[in-house]
Each structure stands twice: as C-alpha cells, then as structure tokens.
C-alpha cells in the first residue's frame, strides 16, 4: 500500500500512476466543491462561471459581488502559481516526491477548513470570504499538480475539459461505427478510431466527480466543515510517503 501511494506522487511517472492519483484527487475536488457550496453557497472550482458572473456583476453595477469574484479568481491563480513553484523547487533539489509538496499544502489547508467552525460562529461574513478564497486556492493548487504531472492530459477540479475530451472520443467512435456499417469511399487519410483509454479515463473521472460531489454535499450538510477532514487525510496519505522518503534521505 505504501509503495502504491509513493508511486502515485513520485518523480517517475507513467499513465497508470497518473490515473491512480487523478481518481483520488477528483474525489477530493468533487466533495470539496459541493461541500463548499453547502458551507458558503458558492462553487469554488468553476472559474468559467466565476468570470462570467464578474462580467454580469460589473454590468449591473454590483461592485462588491464583482470584487468577490475577482478575489476568487486571484486565489485560484495564486494556488496554481504556488503549486508550480513548489514542484519546480522539489525538482531543483532532486526530491523523489516532487509533486508531494503542493499536496501536503493542500492537506493542511483542507484541515484548516475542517477546523474553521468557531470562526464561522464568531464572524460569519469573514468566515465565508475566507472559505471561498481558501477553497479557490486549493482548487488552483490541485489542478496545477495534476496538469503538470499528466502533461495537461487530465484535470480534476472541473468537468468541462473532461466532458469535451469524452465527447470528442464518442464522436470518433460514432464515425468509426458508421464507417464499419457503411461502405466508405477510399481515402488517403488513416481511419478514425476512438481512444479507448481516454474514453474510460474521462468517463470514470466525470462519474467520480459527480458521486463524490453527492457524498460531499450530504456529509457537509450533516457534519458541517468537519467533513473536510477525511478529504485532508486522503491528500495527506499521498504526500506523506514521498516526503518521508526525502526527509530520511537527507537525515
């Protein structure tokens, strides 16, 4: 088990380890996104919607709403930027767990979110703003990790890209089926074939995002922000092995 966890976030990558990590990170992202909505009434991974809402708010003269959207966007960008800095720092130092540093930070931030109930009682307005910024930062952090390690083939914090890739492969499949059933004219172009691995991967990740969102919404509804603690534990489990290996090597 420990070897499997270290392999998922280690420096030596392959398609299998990328998919293994992506499955768990999409579960965390789906649950945190739905849970964040239950906590503060805002989705925090959907930058397309946030930027569109900013344009609407500005057109309607809603300055505070526009500023809140801008803050969410900046937090997401900062998270992605910090992730890139941490990955590059680990590479320069020759660390085995070059993707473990941003995941360790993500686990700490999710644990902080899980412990934020007293702040929500003492200062609800401040708690809501801090929660949105924190979760947007986490989403940017995580999305940058999976983007870098998979060569931009996989995303985990939003479904749009995955659904687009899935639709493309389904279209290829439909074209291939039509060609097999009909009598296609001779052509110099190679036959169109769907990428079965992409079909499986993106279909699976979309389903996991939905299922984890459902579970996350129920959990946050019943337990409050404490439901983020298991999410922090999942991410910490992936970060701990490579970081411990690097610390042991330097000791």
User: First CA to last CA across the chain, in angstroms?
Assistant: 24
pLDDT at 149 over 90: no
From residue 233, give the alpha-carbon distance in Å to each of 40, 51, 63.
22, 31, 38
- List the domain boundaries for the chain: 2-246
Residue 3: pLDDT band (50, 70, 90) is: low
Query: CA 171 from chain center: how many Å?
Result: 26
In contact, 239 and 9? CB cutoff 8 Å: yes
d(CA 224, CA 177): 49
| pLDDT per residue as tens digits for the range 195-231 | 888 888 889 999 999 999 999 999 998 988 899 999 9
Computed over every residue of the chain, the mean pLDDT equals 84
The predicted model scores a pTM of 0.86
Which residues are CB-neighbours of 205 under 8 A, at least 6 positions away? 22, 23, 26, 154, 156, 162
Number of Cβ within 10 Å of residue 242's Cβ equals: 26
Residue 11: pLDDT band (50, 70, 90) is: low
Annotate 185-240 with DSSP letters as a single string: PP-SSPPP---HHHHHHHHHHHHHHHHHHHHHHHHHHHHGGGGHHHHHHHHHHHHH
Lowest-confidence region among 10-14, 24-28, 38-42, 161-165:
10-14
d(CA 222, CA 250): 44
Lowest-confidence region among 92-96, 114-118, 247-251:
247-251
Give the pLDDT confidence score for residue 152 in this predicted structure: 66
The segment with the largest mean pLDDT, out of 30-34, 98-102, 157-161, 190-194, is 30-34
Question: Which of 95, 112, 84, 111 has its CA nearest to residue 6?
Answer: 95
In contact, 57 and 114? CB cutoff 8 Å: no
The number of CA neighbours under 13 Å toward the Cβ of 184 is 14
Q: Which tokens in the block code for residue 57?
A: 């708010």
Annotate 56-93 with DSSP letters as a single string: HHHHTT-HHHHHHHHHHHHHHHHHHHHHHHHHHHHHHT
Annotate 119-178 with DSSP letters as a single string: HHHH-HHHHHHHHHHHHHHHHHHHHHHHHHHTTTS--SS-SHHHHHHHHHHHHHHHHHHH
Give the pLDDT confidence score for residue 121 in this predicted structure: 63
Give the pLDDT confidence score for residue 5 in this predicted structure: 62
d(CA 116, CA 106): 15
pLDDT at 1 over 60: no
Give the pLDDT confidence score for residue 161 in this predicted structure: 81
Give the pLDDT confidence score for residue 128 in this predicted structure: 81
| pLDDT per residue as tens digits for the range 75-88 | 999 999 999 999 88
The segment with the largest mean pLDDT, out of 1-5, 8-12, 152-156, is 152-156
């Amino acid at each position: 088990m420990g070897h499997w966890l270290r392999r998922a976030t280690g420096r030596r990558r392959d398609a299998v380890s990328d998919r293994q990590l992506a499955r768990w990170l999409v579960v965390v992202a789906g649950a945190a996104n739905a849970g964040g909505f239950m906590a503060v009434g805002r989705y925090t991974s959907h930058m397309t919607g946030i930027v569109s809402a900013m344009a609407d708010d500005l057109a309607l003269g809603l300055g505070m709403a526009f500023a809140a959207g801008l803050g969410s966007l900046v937090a997401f960008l900062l998270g992605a930027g910090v992730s890139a800095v941490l990955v590059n720092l680990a590479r320069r130092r020759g660390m085995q767990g070059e993707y473990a540093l941003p995941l360790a930070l993500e686990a700490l931030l999710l644990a902080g979110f899980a412990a934020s109930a007293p702040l929500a009682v003492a200062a609800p307005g401040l708690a809501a703003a801090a929660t949105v910024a924190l979760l947007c930062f986490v989403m940017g952090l995580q999305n940058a990790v999976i983007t870098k390690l998979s060569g931009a083939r996989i995303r985990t914090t939003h479904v749009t890209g995955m659904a687009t890739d899935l639709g493309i492969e389904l279209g290829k499949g439909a074209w291939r089926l039509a060609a097999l059933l009909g009598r296609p004219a001779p052509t110099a172009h190679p036959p169109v074939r769907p990428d079965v691995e992409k079909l499986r991967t993106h279909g699976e990740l979309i389903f996991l995002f939905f299922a984890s969102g459902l579970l996350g919404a129920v959990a946050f509804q019943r337990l409050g922000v404490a439901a983020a603690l298991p999410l922090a534990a999942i991410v910490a489990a992936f970060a701990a092995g490579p970081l411990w290996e690097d610390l042991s090597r330097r000791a």
